[in-house]
Amino acid sequence: MKVEFDDVTVALGGRDIVHGASLTAESGTVVGLIGPNGSGKSTLLRALYRAVRPREGRIRVDGTDVHRLSGRQSARTVAVMLQDPHTDFDLTVHELVLLGRAPYRASFGRDTAEDLRIVDEAMRSVDVSDLAERMAATLSGGQRQRVMLARALAQQTPVLVLDEPSNHLDIRHQLELMSIVRGLGRTVIAALHDLNLALQYCDHVVVLADGRVAAEGPPSEILTPDLIRATFDVDARLVGDPDEEVLAFRRPKAERHDCVPSTSRTESVRS
């Protein structure tokens, strides 16, 4: 399903945080949302999964305004995986992932064999099957993050929102997570800090700066040293094989020596 943000403005605490943002995630694509801390990525995503209502503009999924869906319809349309989930962790991993099936259950209905099959498959795909009977509260940050992805997958929504999905994951699980979400064939919108993940796994990237869309397009065209410098104020360059280039980062040259005490440098020059 296609997701369209049309001139979306979101205000929080009486202040506009996102200003007239327009962007489209084509059906089945992975869109990376990048930008510095505080640029409005989470706020934009929250408007999509209805944690906040835009002050102006529309967010449509397959042409339907998400803020006009019922709670149940919305939960069958958009699933979310957050960076630091505040969930009831007084549950086993299996019970937590089963919550993903709630939008499909009749009130007081029992889990069906189909629900259990979907939950098992979701847990297997993110490598948490062996944690099934563990209490969620006892998991490491990375394990918990994968469990939350399993729950979102079990929700079987056409749209998946990920807010910094990989910040607790080890490098192997980061790469696995991105290739899992790529392979889903669902529409994925992910706020990413790791520009190399965006470069490698996204079909399209959108750069937010101060709550505005500053640039968007194919990752290799957008994630250039110039744009990265302008957006994040760091030096970047592409290194490695031409078909597998990765970005390497450094602080701007002018700032690199500020950790060396200037007095001792002066002294050593004199002596």
- Asked if 12 touches ligand ADP (CB under 6 A), the answer is yes
* Residue 66: CB minimum distance to ligand ADP, A: 18
* Residue 152: CB minimum distance to ligand ADP, A: 18
* Identity at 204, one-letter amino acid code: H
As a three-state string, the secondary structure of 145-209 is HHHHHHHHHHCCCCEEEEECCCCCCCHHHHHHHHHHHHHCCCEEEEECCCHHHHHHHCCEEEEEE
Which of 34, 36, 33 lies closest to 48 in space, CA to CA? Answer: 33
**Rounded Cα distance, 15 and 158, in Å:** 32
Interface with ligand ADP in residues 20-59 (CB under 6 A): 35, 37-43
* Residue 127: CB minimum distance to Mg ion, A: 25
* Residue 192: CB minimum distance to Mg ion, A: 10
For residues 53 and 14, is the Cβ–Cβ distance under 8 A?
no
- Tokens for 3, please give them: 């997701």
Q: Which stretch binds ligand ADP (CB under 6 A): 10-18, 21-29, 214-222, 256-264?
A: 10-18
Decide the pairing of beta strands 78-81 and 159-163. Answer: parallel
State which residue, 122 or 192, has the beta carbon closest to Mg ion.
192
- Asked if 166 touches ligand ADP (CB under 6 A), the answer is no
State which residue, 15 or 110, has the beta carbon closest to ligand ADP.
15
For residues 252 and 229, is the Cβ–Cβ distance under 8 A?
yes
Interface with Mg ion in residues 17-46 (CB under 5 A): 41-42
State which residue, 35 or 158, has the beta carbon closest to ligand ADP.
35
Binding site for Mg ion (CB under 5 A): 41-42
Binding site for ligand ADP (CB under 6 A): 12-13, 17, 35, 37-43
